[in-house]
Amino acid sequence: RQHIGKIKTSCTEFDEMMGGGIESQSITEIYGEFGSGKTQVAHQLAVNVQLDQEQGGLGGSVIIIDTENTFRPDRIQQMVEGKANELGIELDYEEFLKNIHVARAFNSNHQILLVDSAMDLANELKDSDKPVRLLIVDSLTAHFRAEYIGRGTLADRQQKLNKHLHGLQRFANLNNAAVLVTNQVMSKPDAFFGDPTKPIGGHILGHTATFRLYIRKSKGDKRIVKLIDSPNLPEGEAVLAVTRDGIVD
Ligand code: ATP
Ligand code: MG
């Protein structure tokens, strides 16, 4: 078994809560309302995974399965510039963008297929100087939610999500990669999906995602991230801020 890697989040409290960062060989789910910062955290990790180990990264590249068309190269540039300032070194954002492989998923079936493509790409890059060490699915559930409407299809949806998650876990294991998935929760009751405070796919995700994080807005640019479920860490909370430079203390 390979050594578990950890990707720092750029927030000290967050890293401490996670026992050092987002782990490889695991799925980490981050869930929260719209605008809570899930995609921001995903962008930050796509930058940080590329840093050297001493800088909090894994010296790897990243694959993003983008289901809502919310990947923003400009945002990566801001975060790379922020990181360069923080570390007092020069970083070339174009290099960072090259190591972010973005695939748009047009529907849930396509999304599942893209994990196979991700596996192929990871195999290709395995012996390169930037092996894939992070796979992001942002959002894990949006297509499923849109396509499976009504009670009758809930079991089908759960079954497909489950299959998808098994594919993601396999990716994490075979590539010693971290997998980060986002999941939106509703602020208002949803006629089809029941309890608004529970993430979509609650039950099945609850058993598969190794680390579950709940993120919510606080004052100004502050966000509170709560570790809800982990195999080996106590529950806890961390405060972070989302700024132009990215995620910060
Ligand atoms: P959704 O469920 O809709 O996908 P999300 O949880 O992914 O939402 P994000 O897109 O991560 O939400 O967060 C958007 C918020 O991040 C903005 O409302 C803003 O507060 C903050 N943000 C985004 N870009 C910047 C920036 N360049 N500088 C500062 N804050 C920013
Ligand atoms: Mg988002």
Per-residue pLDDT at 47 exceeds 50:
yes
18-43 pLDDT, tens per residue?
999 999 999 999 999 999 999 999 99
> Which residue would you say has higher pLDDT here, 97 or 234?
97
Share of the chain above pLDDT 70, in %: 90
Per-residue pLDDT at 241 exceeds 70:
yes
pLDDT of amino acid 158:
87
pLDDT of amino acid 132:
98
Q: Tell me the pLDDT of the chain averaged across its residues.
A: 91
Residue nearest to atom 20 of ligand 1 (CA): 221
For residue 37, report the distance from its CA to the centre of ligand 2, in Å. Answer: 7
Contact at 8 Å (CB) between 60 and 176? no
What angle separates helix 73-87 from helix 38-48, to the nearest 10 degrees? 60
Residues within 6 Å of ligand 1 by CB = 32, 34-40, 70, 78, 184, 242-244
pLDDT of amino acid 140:
96
> Which residue would you say has higher pLDDT here, 61 or 148?
61
Rg (CA), the chain: 17
pLDDT of amino acid 198:
56
137-150 pLDDT, tens per residue?
999 999 998 898 76
Amino acid at 234: P
| Rounded-to-integer distance, Cα 183 and Cα 214, Å | 10
For residue 68, report the distance from its CA to the centre of ligand 2, in Å. Answer: 8
